[in-house]
Structure 1
């Protein structure tokens, strides 16, 4: 069952001024040019990379990283990374505040997102997700075995899969309880003794004078309006990505114990005022 989080207090309206629309056009066109250049470069490089390396992607993820870093430069938004990025085999889990998390988490680490199957059909976003190697999962028990095999193949190939165990995005001021379902894949005998999980905390700071939840994307917010707000902002804020110490899957007896531990670590990485759980 899917779940969409919404706060009791809605986000305040954001009015775009004449100067804001100028920034929307300037930043928007620049970002589109960067994304298109990245897509073309990745498609061309995959023509060589796929025959030589198959499922392995030793080159194209660097294009994704460059594109994401440039996106923050264009937005005028500071991106800070703290902690060591995991090199061992395994997956990454993080709190989920916004569609911007995709850029925040791709900018400094080579990861492949795990996403619901519906995203594959979204205009534009679905194509970008596919070309960057996103793993799509369906909420259908009949496909559980096939999805387990996909997880195994990708993880054993050295891919760092990244997923959001909260199952929904929030306002960035809380970490919801982690759902343990996807953690079960790591307890398969083919993976359990090989895999590590790295908890990551993503912290957004709003532009001065704006609602503290400026970057949060929740409930029935549409992507277009939220993206326009970020493009129109006279001065954007910042994002801090905190990489915590990875843990071994085999050190935990059950998926629920593992999920509970990494949830606690991710929440602990938040400023004290943001350690809410609902």
Structure 2
């Protein structure tokens, strides 16, 4: 039964990815012909594709809270690569991702065509990345970042990097905190986290072989960026998400020196 379930889920996922690849190729070709940026269309199609991709994964998703009606900088805790299709299905979004994802077969190309912005850790290009994020938000496009900078097992939060939130201040948009958690029988799911030395294929096979788990996505109260420092935004976002996830992660608000 487990093998049959895995085979059917792999077939479903393969069909979704194949169709997404075809769709991305068509949009890319159209952009070359008309020589015009089709980013708004790409974002809408990406949302449609990610909803189908999330539907091919063994999750039962529950969403709480209100979707923002204005462009915002979304910030979320990061548990797995599956966060992206699940959150991206909620609203047209672009993502900030580590540069390594760009090299992933198929998925990296699809992410690039969907408008993902890539950052290379330790490359010293934080100023350039910040400018990219600001331009993206100033164009009225939603952007989602994972300010922890890596995935966790969902049992704690890492420090949120304030420099990534500076774009909200520079572009005058609010921050939309989002809390996501994976549960199995009311407890944190041990299968969903994609952490450490895990590789994509092994994780995918474990995930598709398992029974469905619950996913809770909570859209929290937006945080105004006006008159706040980037460290304040980071700490307040982290505190809100930690509270929503019922984590005991201590979150200290920035000192006056840090906020300056």
| The two structures share one fold, judged by TM-score above 0.5 | yes
Q: Distance in 2 between matches of 1:269 and 1:93?
A: 13
Which residue of the partner structure matches residue 249 of structure 1?
225
Quote the Cα distance in structure 2 between the aligned partners of 1:52 and 1:240. 41
Q: 1:38 to 1:165 in 2, by over 3 A?
A: same
DSSP 3-state at the match of 1:104: helix
CA distance in 2, matches of 1:164, 1:209: 25
Alignment pair present for 1:213 and 2:180? no
1:49·1:59 contact (CA, 8 Å) conserved in 2? Answer: no
Structure-2 separation of matches of 1:117 and 1:160: 20
1:159 aligns with 2:135: no
**1:185-234 CA distances to partner (integer Å, 9 max, x unpaired)?**
3343xx2xx2111000002112x49973221121112221111011112x
Counterpart of 2:256? none
Match for 1:199 among 177, 186, 202?
A: 177
Pair 1:203–1:275, CA change in 2 (3 A): farther
Q: Which moved more, 1:135-144 or 1:219-228?
A: 135-144
Point out where structure 1 has 5 or more consecutive residues left out of the alignment. Answer: 1-18
Q: 1:64 to 1:139 in 2, by over 3 A?
A: same
Deviations 1:115-165 (A, max 9, x none): 122221222221121011100122356533432332222111112111111
Note if contact 2:24-2:110 (Cα within 8 Å) is conserved in structure 1: no
Gap runs ≥5 in structure 2: 252-260
2:201 corresponds to which of 197, 209, 224 = 224
8 Å CA contact 1:113–1:135 kept in 2: the answer is yes
What pairs up with 1:113-192 in 2 under 5 angstroms? 113-140=95-122, 142-188=124-170, 191=171
**In structure 1, C-alpha distance between the alignment counterparts of 2:142 and 2:124, rounded to whole Å:** 25
Partner of 1:260: 235
1:16 maps to none
1:238 aligns with 2:214: yes
Check the 8 A contact 1:77/1:237 in 2, yes or no.
Answer: yes
Distance 1:106 1:50 in 2: 26
What is the TM-score with the length of structure 2 in the denominator? 0.86
TM-score (norm: length of structure 1):
0.80
For 2:153 and 2:19, locate their aligned partners in 1 and report how far apart those are by CA, in whole Å.
32
Alpha-carbon contact 1:173-1:276 (below 8 Å) kept:
no
Deviation, structure 1 residue 86: 1.6
In the alignment, is the contact (CA less than 8 A) between 1:72 and 1:79 conserved in 2? no
CA RMSD, Structure 1 to Structure 2 (Å): 2.5
Moved more, 54-63 or 158-167: 54-63
